[in-house]
């Protein structure tokens, strides 16, 4: 920059001519990838094409590993005995699709009754367990609640130590719960992990919100029902999912406490038939002559497995969007 005199004698500043090519080269190229900042973490950088391709391949393999067994089970359950014999086991390429296996197991009565038993136990058990866990967690989340520290300590102990199978059986027997559906619900009605998950989520709610409600005259029941629970839909849905899946998949308690076959849940019927090969009277899953057109063996086993899987597959997509938020936010505080 230089100084020159104008026509009126005033000093003015003049700039040297700018080279257009040099100015163009000084501009950043939008196609050029910016350099990684020394203070920026690696996971915040824009992924490369190689990294994106590797992620796609890994995710595709994971999805294939999850979907392929389910696909094989469904296709085998829709196949005939001849197709299973020809494939030498599980069918991957369907040749003849039939629903005879499903009609056969549902016509006997045992599987249908066991499905209704499992649905009832899951519905009642999930409602009871979720309600009790919410009430317990809310009480433990209030610092002024009576005896919340000793109760919390006892609750933590149950996560690491248990009474054992024989004392638990004696307790259930002395309570008169043998051969009743309550024996499948009450022994595992409350999970310490789920209570702690709810408690930590409740403690993360701003105390100013609940204090403002108490100033306006709201009691604890109203605070819990109208303020805390509406703000805790995510963690409540996750806990209900945990309880529901647990009740639906449980079969060990039924082995211990249920002696009447008519009260068996679906999972115990599935275990008895698929793993042990036991054919229950009137179940419709016995060996039938192939000439009659009925399916036997593996297709029927796979059909029972599909019936046991369907409810979880139907419910999970509606709860999945709450899963990450509920678990992560509920695990922030200790």
Three-state secondary-structure class, residue 12: strand
pLDDT computed for residue 282 by the predictor: 44
Domain boundaries, the chain: 104-333
3 within 8 A of 13, measured Cβ to Cβ: yes
CB 138 within 8 A of CB 148: no
Please list, in sequence order, all residues whose beta carbon lies within 8 angstroms of the beta carbon of residue 76, skipping any fewer than 6 positions away: 84, 90, 91, 298, 299, 302
The string of pLDDT tens digits covering residues 265-300 is: 988 888 877 665 555 444 444 444 433 444 557 888
pTM: 0.72
pLDDT of res. 133: 93
Q: What is the per-residue pLDDT across 216-273, written as a single tens digit (0 to 9) for each? A: 888 888 888 888 888 888 888 889 988 998 999 888 889 999 988 888 898 888 887 7
**13 DSSP β-pair partners:** 3
Comparing 134-143, 188-197, 235-244, 272-281, which segment has the lowest mean pLDDT? Answer: 272-281
3-state secondary structure of 3: strand
Assigned fold of 104-333: MetI-like fold (1.10.3720)
pLDDT single digits (tens) 89-102 = 888 888 888 888 88
Question: What's the pLDDT score for residue 325?
Answer: 59
User: Mapped to the 3 state alphabet, what secondary structure does 214-239 carry?
Assistant: HHCCCCHHHHHHHHHCHHHHHHHHHH
Distance CA 301, CA 287 (A): 12
Spatial CA neighbour of 137 closest among 273, 330, 267: 330
- For residue 5, the cross-strand partners are 11
Quick one: pLDDT at residue 322?
65
């Amino acid at each position: 920059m230089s100084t020159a005199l104008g026509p009126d004698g005033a000093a003015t500043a003049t700039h040297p001519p700018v080279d257009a090519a040099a100015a163009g080269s000084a501009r950043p190229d939008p196609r050029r990838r910016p350099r990684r900042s020394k203070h920026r973490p690696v996971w915040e950088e824009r992924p490369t094409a190689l990294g994106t391709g590797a992620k796609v391949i890994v995710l595709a393999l994971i999805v294939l590993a999850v979907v392929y067994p389910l696909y094989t089970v469904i296709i085998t359950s829709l196949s005939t005995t001849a197709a299973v014999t020809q494939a030498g086991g599980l069918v991957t390429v369907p040749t003849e699709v039939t629903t005879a296996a499903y009609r056969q197991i549902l016509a006997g009565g045992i599987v249908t009754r066991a499905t209704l038993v499992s649905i009832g136990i899951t519905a009642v058990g999930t409602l009871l367990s979720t309600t009790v866990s919410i009430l317990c967690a809310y009480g433990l989340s209030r610092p002024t609640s009576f005896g919340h520290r000793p109760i919390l300590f006892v609750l933590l102990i149950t996560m690491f130590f248990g009474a054992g199978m024989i004392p638990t059986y004696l307790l259930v027997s002395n309570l008169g719960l043998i051969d009743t559906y309550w024996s499948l619900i009450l022994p595992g009605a409350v999970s310490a992990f789920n209570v702690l998950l709810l408690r930590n989520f409740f403690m993360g709610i701003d105390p100013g919100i609940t204090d403002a409600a108490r100033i306006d005259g709201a009691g604890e029941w109203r605070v819990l029902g109208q303020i805390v629970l509406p703000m805790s839909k995510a963690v409540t849905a996750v806990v209900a999912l945990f309880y529901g899946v647990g009740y639906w998949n449980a079969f060990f308690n039924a082995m211990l406490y249920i002696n009447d076959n008519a009260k068996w849940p679906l999972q115990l019927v599935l275990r008895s038939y698929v793993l042990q090969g036991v054919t229950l009277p009137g179940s419709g899953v016995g060996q039938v002559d192939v000439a009659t057109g009925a399916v036997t063996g593996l297709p029927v086993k796979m059909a029972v497995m599909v019936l046991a899987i369907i409810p979880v597959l139907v419910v999970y997509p509606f709860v999945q969007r709450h899963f990450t938020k509920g678990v992560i936010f509920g695990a922030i505080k200790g």
